[in-house]
Amino acid sequence: MPIIRTTETIRPTQSEFGQIAYDVMNCVYDIHNEFGRFFDEAVYKRELADRIPGMELELPVTVSHGTFSKLYKLDVLAHKRGIFEFKAAEAIVPRHRGQTINYLLLFDLPHGKIINVRPERVGDEFVNCHLRLEELRNPSVETTHFDPTVAAADFFHDQLISMIHDWGSGLETGLYEEALTHSLGGEEHVLLPVPVMGAKGHLHDQKMRMLAPDVAFKLTAFPDRLEAFEVHARRLLQHTNLKAIHWANITHKHVTFTTIR
């Protein structure tokens, strides 16, 4: 199986999750008032589990494809119905929301919450995802601007589509990137230095993920404004010896393959 969880979950109604979140947050506020804001996130979630029954911590879920395998560990599963991701950061940022959606999809749940224990007052944010991975395994695919004559194009396209058919298209882009890197032989063969040239010659060697000697690849999950990425990718090509970048933008319902030259 491509996705293996160690526990079964129960999809709650929004009101059911709202009550769970209310109880959890009241307890978190009490813990934060007692412990303060300077501990690692593990301290707060473990104290939460000691105070409220039905909290399961650091639950593993394994995502695999061929010989690739990645283990995730969910912070808190509450009553098998809700996900709570603990952070100890200056602020909640888009990356935290993306991680939480990743867990909602992997655990087949619609509602979660991010809890940030580092600020003076606890920060929190609801995250909802009503889609399910089984609905995301056959997204529409756009290849109008994808050049199959450029090195490794077929490999890039076929490997990525195979992963999406296995998992779905809504997971974090880093997962697809790791799996693709694995299929190319690992980071030592893929994450390679590329010379960057300026007005007076060589400036720096910057590591980029390579599909072939002169061809890099990039995965994104932009909901819109793809043109802005392409503009800056073309500027990158002008200051390196790369011939092309194979780029895939992956959203819940659509995958766009582009070759930038």
- What the block records as the tokens of 132 is 């399910």
**Mean pLDDT across the chain:** 97
**Interval 22-52: pLDDT, tens:** 999 999 999 999 999 999 999 999 999 999 9
Say whether both 147 and 217 belong to one domain: yes
Say whether both 92 and 180 belong to one domain: no
For residue 63, is pLDDT > 70?
yes
Say whether both 107 and 158 belong to one domain: no
Boundary residue ending a domain (76, 111, 130): 130
Calculate ∠ Cα 137-225-94, nearest 5°. 70
Taking the CB of residue 202, how many other CB atoms lie within 10 A of it?
A: 9
- Contacts of 113-116 with CB under 8 Å at 24 or more apart are 113/21, 113/24, 113/25, 113/82, 113/83, 113/84, 113/85, 114/84, 114/85, 114/87, 115/24, 115/25, 115/28, 115/44, 115/84, 115/85, 115/86, 115/87, 116/86, 116/87, 116/88, 116/89, 116/91, 116/92
How many angstroms separate the CA atoms of 238 and 233, rounded? 9
Say whether both 144 and 123 belong to one domain: no
Q: What is the DSSP secondary structure assignment for residue 260, as one 8-state letter?
A: E
Q: What is the DSSP secondary structure assignment for residue 151, as one 8-state letter?
A: T
Q: What is the DSSP secondary structure assignment for residue 54, as one 8-state letter?
A: T
Say whether both 249 and 139 belong to one domain: yes
- What the block records as the tokens of 133 is 């991975």
**Interval 73-82: pLDDT, tens:** 999 999 999 9
The pLDDT assigned to 30 comes to: 98
Could you tell me which of 132, 140, 183, 98 has the C-alpha nearest to residue 3? 132
Say whether both 67 and 161 belong to one domain: no
Q: How many domains does the chain have?
A: 2
pTM assigned to the model:
0.94
- Could you tell me whether strands 140-145 and 254-260 are parallel, antiparallel, or unpaired per DSSP bridges? parallel
- For residue 73, the cross-strand partners are 60
Boundary residue ending a domain (130, 163, 180): 130
**Interval 105-132: pLDDT, tens:** 999 999 999 999 999 999 999 999 999 9
Boundary residue ending a domain (83, 102, 130): 130
What is the full DSSP assignment across 1-33? --EEESS---PPPHHHHHHHHHHHHHHHHHHHH
Say whether both 126 and 184 belong to one domain: no
**Once rounded to an integer, what is the mean pLDDT over residues 162-180?**
96
**Interval 216-257: pLDDT, tens:** 999 999 988 899 999 999 999 999 999 999 999 999 999 999
- Residue 1 banded pLDDT, cuts 50, 70, 90: low
Say whether both 14 and 26 belong to one domain: yes
Say whether both 55 and 85 belong to one domain: yes
- Could you tell me whether strands 55-65 and 254-260 are parallel, antiparallel, or unpaired per DSSP bridges? unpaired
**Once rounded to an integer, what is the mean pLDDT over residues 182-199?**
97
Say whether both 8 and 108 belong to one domain: yes
Say whether both 111 and 123 belong to one domain: yes
Question: Which amino acid appears at position 24 of this protein?
Answer: V
| Residue-number span of the structural domain to which 249 is assigned | 134-260
